[in-house]
Structure 1
Amino acid sequence: MAKVKYVRVSTDDQNTARQEINNNDFSKIYIDKESGAIKFAERKEAKKLIADIDKGNINEIHISSVDRLGRNIIDILTMIEYFNQRQIKLFVENIGMFSLLDENIPNPSFKMIVSVLGNVAEMERHNMLERQKQGIYLAKAKGTYKGRLYGTKLTDDQLLVKYKSVAKELRNGESLRRAAKIGQCSLGTAQKIQRILSK
């Protein structure tokens, strides 16, 4: 049975060093470069982590903060419940607390604190998207908004959020053409999403 660590950053250009300062304490590190909006169980490295749990290879997981699991409170609590059912101890470093007490009894204080932090993470994401919408609305009202400037580039995170339905279809093994049709985007955009998912 192993103690492992799960690390997540939203984009390729983000540094994971802050989350990996204690790497030597773990037998394995799983690093995802995915948006927190993507469900934990749908991320490339998280899938490998879950597979290792199902094989009985892991008994303890460390994460730097609860939002590494996700930005949606339902997704966060679902994964914690999954770990609890399999008697996997989850340790959240920035609150210094385990999800399970001795004899694998769920820690009530942990659940309460994580619920609050999970709601904060979800609220932050919602506020960010709202600010973005308001900025676009004001720019349109002033007549200064002309869409994305030529030559500018959406980050991987922004693409996955904007074309969530495309990513979902591709993860389900659907063709690029079907994904593009359902997501109402070009074939080229669907190909970009596919490249991001395959990283």
Structure 2
Amino acid sequence: MSKVKYIRVSSEEQNTGRQEVNAKEFSKIYIDKVSGSIKFIDRKEASKLLADIETGVVSEIHISSIDRLGRSIIDILTMVEFFNQKSIKLFVENIGMFSLIDNKPNPSFKMIISVLGNVAEMERSNMLERQRQGIELAKAKGSYSGRLYGSKISDADFLTKYKAVAKELKNGESLRRASKIGGCSLGTAQKIQRLLTSIN
């Protein structure tokens, strides 16, 4: 039975270093680079962790914060309940608390997790609302340059929009260098490279 750590960041270019500061304490670390909206059971590394739990090799899981398990309070509490049923001790580092004490659910843990989960959900909802209001305001001023919600830019238009990045990639520049020159994210540069590869 071993102590492991689960890490999730939203994208490939995000650094996991902050969550890996205590890596030497664990027998294994599972790292997913996916959106928090993807359910825990549908994530690649999380699925491996769940499989290891079923085979009985995991006894304790550490996460940096409770939102690593999911974006909604329901998803979070579902996973906490699953770990409890399997007698897996879940430790949330930013609150310094275990889900189980003497193999019994920690009532304080569940209460705090419920509050934190609800706050995180509310913050995200407020952020999306502020984003929507910002777009509406920019449209009213005639300064909104993004695409309408739900619409999709074509591959050709996408390459045209980032023609400087495409040019650098065609000239053999690295993804990181091309994204820096073109003023876009590494993820965008990767998409441009995939499109260029499919065209060729």
Q: Give the TM-score of the pair, scaled to structure 1.
A: 0.74
Amino acid aligned to 1:36 = G
Aligned: 1:105 with 2:130: no
Distance 2:126 2:72 in 1: 13
Cα deviation, 1:57-111, whole Å, max 9, x if unaligned, reads 1110000111111121000000000000101000001111100011x11000000
Distance 2:71 2:105 in 1: 22
Distance 2:186 2:136 in 1: 21
Distance 2:186 2:24 in 1: 31
Aligned to 1:134: 133
Matches within 5 A, 1:25-40: 25-40=25-40
Distance 2:48 2:126 in 1: 32
Distance 2:127 2:70 in 1: 15
Aligned to 2:43: 43
Distance 2:43 2:36 in 1: 10
Q: CA contact under 8 A between 2:66 and 2:92: conserved in structure 1? A: yes
Unaligned ranges ≥5, structure 2:
148-157, 163-182, 196-200
Distance 2:186 2:116 in 1: 26
Q: CA contact under 8 A between 1:71 and 1:122: conserved in structure 2? A: yes
Aligned to 1:159: none
Distance 1:77 1:14 in 2: 26
Deviation at 1:145, TM superposition (A): 1.5
Aligned to 2:118: 119
Deviation at 1:123, TM superposition (A): 1.4
Identity %: 71
Amino acid aligned to 1:40 = F
Q: CA contact under 8 A between 1:11 and 1:155: conserved in structure 2? A: no
Number of residues of Structure 1 aligned to a counterpart in Structure 2 = 159
Aligned to 1:16: 16
Aligned to 2:168: none
Deviation at 1:154, TM superposition (A): 7.9
Distance 2:61 2:125 in 1: 28
Unaligned ranges ≥5, structure 1:
157-187, 193-199
Secondary structure in structure 2 of the residue aligned to 1:61: strand
RMSD (CA atoms): 2.2
Matches within 5 A, 1:1-199: 1-102=1-102, 104-148=103-147, 150-151=161-162
Cα deviation, 1:112-143, whole Å, max 9, x if unaligned, reads 00101111111121122111111111111112
Q: Give the TM-score of the pair, scaled to structure 2.
A: 0.74
Q: CA contact under 8 A between 2:40 and 2:46: conserved in structure 1? A: yes
Stretch deviating more after TM superposition (55-64 or 139-148): 139-148
Query: Is the radius of gyration larger for structure 1 or structure 2?
Result: 2
